Chains A and B, each alone.
Chain A
Amino acid sequence: MDKIHSLRQVAAIKHSLFEQGYLDEQFIQLEELQDDANPNFVEEIVTLYYRDSSRLITNLDQTLERNPLDFNKLDTIMHQFKGSSSSIGAKKVKAECTLFREYCRARNGEGCRRSFQQMKKEYATLRKKLETYFQMARQAGPKETAFRPK
């Protein structure tokens, strides 16, 4: 009975992540690549994402300090960041990246700074939620990926 309860909790967390727009279809695509030999593939990818992208965030922070702003460089870094975010299904983060790039193209420094702050919030929120999700999924054991949110 305990296991059923855990599985339900995991399914509920996952469902809300999708309902609230934190994750998109790509996350499901990644889960479908898991098997008995690679049961933690998604968690590994997400861990890799947070490790790699922190470097990009530092880079963006530093580049935003400059005066005048190098919008081309900002756009290039953000393109990379957006790509990785898209690869893990980070929907809200990806949307903020798109907005940031639009501000870059419009040469709007204030807009860039604002959307960067917002992006970092979404990025941090998602990280916490995914940590919880993976922890619960591990506790519940296999089969949690059988729940596909509507």
Chain B
Amino acid sequence: MAAAGDVFLPEVGAGKLHVLAVDDSHVDRKVIERLLKISSCQVTVVESGSRALQYLGLDGEKSSIGFDSVKVNLIMTDYSMPGMTGYELLKKIKESSVFREVPVVVMSSENILTRIDSCLEEGAEEFLLKPVKLSDVKRVTDFIMKGEGKKGVKKSHKRSRSDDYSPPSSSSSSSISTAFSSVSHPCDLSLPASPSSALLSKKTRLSI
């Protein structure tokens, strides 16, 4: 995965990404944990947004002074959760000075464009349709690894459309991301047959 010249900083402990996964479904937690372990990640799984905030130290319980914040390279969260939704969790993370640069991926079984749009607008790295596949996780983690290795590149939490991200070689992608510069706006996407929306997999069903 590492190209010559890439520098892996100590934060990415021994080349492994530390991923925090959030999902209220026990089955889905077990699956995402397995997917991430196979993708060579260190995994912490929690069952709710509030537990995630607790883990990150963002629940207001600990004082920011002297608190050694936990190092997380990626957060993957389910969207529909009781209590705090994945969207609300995303917002809290992006509001935090410590964690706003951590990429957040939102997962959902429902392919609702307004939902996808608001998550991406709020700074989500990617939106994955459930059930999440190994290829989705590998693609995301590979991408994050490259990003972590090139710390010189400044990344804002609101991705710009022109970010140079090379699309995955695999054609079956069940995610929608602002990284694809061929798309002007997720809501503008028309029928899957058109070339501009080639990035959508056959799994996504647009209700346009």
- Interface residues of chain A, those whose CB is within 8 Å of chain B, are 26, 29-30, 32-33, 38, 41, 44-45, 48-49, 52, 79-80, 82-84, 86-89
* Cβ–Cβ contact A87 & B28, under 8 A: yes
Contact with A along B1-30 (1 / 0, CB 8 A): 000000000000000000000001111101
- Interface residues of chain B, those whose CB is within 8 Å of chain A, are 24-28, 30-31, 34-35, 38, 80, 109, 130-131, 133-134
* Cβ–Cβ contact B30 & A83, under 8 A: no
| Residues in B neighbouring A86, C-beta threshold 8 A | 109, 130-131
| Residues in B neighbouring A89, C-beta threshold 8 A | 131
A83 to B24, CA, bound (A): 11
| Residues in A neighbouring B25, C-beta threshold 8 A | 52, 80, 83-84, 87
Tell whether A33 pairs with B131 under 8 Å between CB atoms, given A48-B26, A48-B30: no
Give the A-B contact count at a CB cut-off of 8 A: 48
User: Which residue in B27, B34, B38, B80 is a CB contact (below 8 Å) of A88?
Assistant: B27
In the assembled complex, the CB of B146 is this many whole angstroms from the nearest CB of chain A, namely 24
Please classify the interface of chain A as helix (H, G, I), strand (E, B), loop, or mixed, using the class held by over half of its residues.
Answer: helix
What residue of chain B has the Cβ atom nearest to residue A84's Cβ?
Answer: B27
A41 to B109, CA, bound (A): 22
| Residues in B neighbouring A41, C-beta threshold 8 A | 34
| Residues in A neighbouring B26, C-beta threshold 8 A | 48, 52
User: Which residue in B28, B34, B35 is a CB contact (below 8 Å) of A83?
Assistant: B28
In the assembled complex, the CB of B130 is this many whole angstroms from the nearest CB of chain A, namely 7
Please give me the 5 A-B residue pairs with the lowest Cβ-Cβ distance, nearest first.
A84-B27, A26-B131, A87-B131, A87-B27, A49-B27
Tell whether A33 pairs with B34 under 8 Å between CB atoms, given A86-B130, A87-B130: yes
* Cβ–Cβ contact A33 & B38, under 8 A: yes
A84 to B133, CA, bound (A): 14
| Residues in B neighbouring A88, C-beta threshold 8 A | 27
| Residues in B neighbouring A44, C-beta threshold 8 A | 30
What residue of chain A has the Cβ atom nearest to residue B110's Cβ?
Answer: A79
Tell whether A45 pairs with B133 under 8 Å between CB atoms, given A79-B80, A82-B109, A87-B25: no
* Cβ–Cβ contact B31 & A45, under 8 A: yes
Tell whether A87 pairs with B31 under 8 Å between CB atoms, given A29-B134, A80-B25: yes
A52 to B31, CA, bound (A): 14
A84-B25, A86-B130, A87-B28 are known; give 10 further A-B pairs, CB within 8 A: A29-B133, A44-B30, A45-B31, A52-B25, A82-B109, A83-B25, A83-B80, A84-B28, A87-B131, A88-B27
A79 to B82, CA, bound (A): 12
In the assembled complex, the CB of B197 is this many whole angstroms from the nearest CB of chain A, namely 22
Sample 15 A-B pairs with CB under 8 A, ordered by A number. Answer: A33-B31, A41-B34, A45-B31, A49-B27, A52-B25, A80-B25, A82-B109, A83-B80, A84-B25, A86-B130, A86-B131, A87-B25, A87-B27, A87-B31, A87-B131
